[in-house]
Amino acid sequence: MIIDYEKRHQVWLREPQTRAEQRMMVELNKVNNEIEINNIPIRLTKLNFRAFSFLYEHLGQPVSPNELIKAIWPNRQDVPIKTLQQRIFQLKSQLDDAGFNEAIMTVSSPSKSGYELNLLKKKF
């Protein structure tokens, strides 16, 4: 984590795991709920920011709906799956509008199902 005292905001950077990720710069600004992907700023709602942050921490790995619900609404236990689906739809739309096509995929496999973040699919 990098704390930028000059701008007084917190920026979280994940270490790149692959060669493709090394060419991608992602910053998460928790203070104003903004992400920046390769110098493209995307302003999110607080809940969408939580969803993106959790998916980003698990980049390239499927995250179950229950895990996401706990990350987005840590103090609630009665969140319906439909509410999560609406939140993910909104986040997908925001990422798509910024040019990141299919950045969040729905995963369904015998071992795990849920959502997976893949920022490497950029439409031009």
> Which of the four pLDDT bands, split at 50, 70 and 90, describes residue 2?
very low
Q: Are 43 and 52 in contact (CB under 8 A)?
A: no
pLDDT by residue (tens digit) across 3-50? 343 343 444 445 555 554 555 678 899 989 999 988 889 999 999 999
**Every domain of the chain and the residues it spans:** 2-117
Burial 14-46 (b: 16+ CB within 10 A, else e): eeeeeeebeeeebbbbeeebbbebeeeebebee
Q: What is the pLDDT of residue 38?
A: 83
Average pLDDT, the chain: 81
Report domain 2-117's class. mainly alpha
pLDDT of residue 16: 53
Query: How does residue 124 score in pLDDT terms, banded at 50, 70 and 90?
Result: very low
Q: Which of 14, 3, 22 is nearest to 58 (CA)?
A: 14
Q: DSSP readout, 59-76?
A: TTS-B-HHHHHHHHSTT-
- Can you state the percent helix, strand and coil of the chain, rounding each to 5? 35, 25, 45
